[in-house]
Amino acid sequence: MYEQIYKQQNELAKLIERYSGRDGTHKTAIPSLMFNRQSHITEPNYSIYNPSLYIVVQGVKEIFLAQERFRYSPTDYLIATVDLPATAQVIEASPTFPYLSLKLEFTPSQILEVLRDTEIRVNLKKDAKRAMFVSSVDSFMLKSVIRLARLLDSPKDIPVLAPLFTKEILYRVLQGPHGSRLGQIAIEGSYTYRITNVIEHIMHNYEQSFRIEKLSDIVNMGVSSLYRHFKEVTAMSPIQFQKKLRLQKARHLLLSESIDACNAAFRVGYESPSQFSREYSRLFGLPPKEDIKRLSNMTKG
């Protein structure tokens, strides 16, 4: 079994190298499939993890969700079931043995389609669980992923076969030990489904202040129940989630536009530039101006 997995990982590594060619994240002809290659250990990357499957075939990556650490390597796959502000870092990579991984995005409707076509059942009354998890990869999963990745060699087959192979991959995850976590994002009325709606509301209105009571009304949950399930799903309170989202958006603005920290703070919803600077420094390790200067110098280098 281990020999089979090793061969499958080698095949995936060759496919990723062929369609990457250089360091960075690379889109493929399959819209939901992306490859990542890094020949060096990376700086921490602050981003939003959207619902996706991640598989590493070489190297190791760590992700921090609030204070919780997820480490995954070629023996694992990682799933994010909702949008989550997280910090990721490649911790094992070299020019001779680069970090290689793939990302497959999915939607709740795709999960629902698999559930409708199988006998897999999801318990609506189960409490929500963490929306990020690591599980052991097996030969069946890798075989399904290889079938999808091989379509890049025959682009004319992608429109018909990519949805089928993606469905097979999701079926494998739903059959796994954490399948119910994935299934709950698609079942209307489940706690995770309702928390997903709260997350979507915050994502689209991150610059606006909110009251927890309003969020509770949106999804017809009690305040204490919403708070408890939101924290179970995201490892953060709604306010902490919004704060991380605001700071990540502000950093992106500072890097992509010629604005100062004060303007960035106001645009993402802060009323106090000094509070923004304190919280920015706490998350990214440096005040806004120094952080952006460091990042700009790294890019030039």
Q: Which of 183, 217, 251 is the last residue of a domain?
A: 183
In a domain, 217, yes or no: no
Domain count, the chain: 2
pLDDT per residue over 4-38, tens digit each?
A: 988 999 999 999 999 998 999 999 999 999 999 99
Same domain, 127 and 255: no
- CA atoms within 13 A of residue 84's CA, in its CB half-sphere: 27
Asked whether residue 171 falls in the same domain as residue 40, the answer is: yes
Pairing of strands 24-27, 68-72: unpaired
Query: What are the structure tokens assigned to 227, written together?
Result: 């708070």
pLDDT at residue 301 greater than cutoff 60: no
Q: How far is 114 from 183, CA to CA, in rounded Å?
A: 9
Question: CA nearest 100: which of 130, 57, 163, 55?
Answer: 57
In a domain, 262, yes or no: yes
pLDDT for the residue 269: 97
In a domain, 211, yes or no: no
Instruction: List pLDDT tens digits, range 105-132.
Output: 999 999 999 999 988 887 766 777 899 9
Residue 285 pLDDT: 94
CATH number of the domain that residue 25 is part of: 2.60.120
Query: What's the confidence (pLDDT) of residue 299?
Result: 66
Q: What is the pLDDT of residue 286?
A: 95
Cα-atom radius of gyration of the chain, to the nearest Å?
20
Residue 204 lies in a domain: no
Question: How many H-runs (helices) and E-runs (strands) does the chain carry?
Answer: 12, 10
Largest CA distance in the chain: 58
Phi, psi of 58, rounded to the nearest 5 degrees: -145, 140
pLDDT in tens, 215-259: 999 999 999 999 999 999 999 999 999 999 999 999 999 999 989
With respect to residue 209, please indicate whether it lies within any of the assigned structural domains. no
Contacts of 132 (CB under 8 A, 6+ apart): 49, 63, 65, 70, 78, 79, 80, 81, 84, 86
| Statement to judge: residues 138 and 12 lie in one domain | yes
Mark whether 157 and 49 lie in a shared domain. yes
pLDDT of residue 300: 61
296 pLDDT band, cuts 50/70/90, is confident
CB atoms within 10 A of CB 274: 10
Q: Give the integer Cα–Cα distance in Å for 195 and 254.
A: 30
For residues 65 and 176, membership in a common domain is answered with yes
Task: Average the pLDDT over 69-75 and give the result.
Answer: 94
Q: How confident is the model over 54-59, as a mean pLDDT?
A: 96
Instruction: Judge whether residue 274 has pLDDT over 80.
Output: yes
Average pLDDT of the chain, as a whole number: 94
7 in any annotated domain: yes
Q: What is the pLDDT of residue 126?
A: 74
Residue 267 has pLDDT above 90, yes or no: yes
Please state, in angstroms and rounded to a whole number, the distance separating the CA atoms of residues 271 and 255.
Answer: 21
CATH number assigned to the domain comprising residue 260:
1.10.10.60
Q: Are residues 154 and 287 in the same domain?
A: no
Helix, coil or strand: residue 41: coil
Co-location of 174 and 100 in the same domain: yes
Q: Are 180 and 122 in contact (CB under 8 A)?
A: yes
pTM: 0.93
Do both 127 and 263 map to the same domain? no
Of 149, 168, 183, the position where a domain reaches its end is: 183
Cα angle for residues 214, 132, 287 (degrees, 5° grid):
70
Query: What whole-number distance in Å separates Cα of residue 241 and Cα of residue 195?
Result: 12
Average pLDDT score over residue span 71-100: 96
Let me know whether 8 and 130 are in one domain.
yes
Q: Say yes or no: 10 and 145 in one domain.
A: yes
pLDDT at 124: 66
3-state secondary structure of 60: strand
pLDDT > 70 fraction of the chain, expressed in percent and rounded = 98
Among 183, 198, 232, the domain-final residue is 183
Per residue in 155-211, pLDDT (tens digit) is 999 999 999 999 999 999 999 888 889 999 998 889 999 999 999 999 999 999 999
Residue 119, pLDDT score = 84
In a domain, residue 71? The reply is: yes
Task: Provide the residue range defining the domain that includes 278.
Answer: 240-300
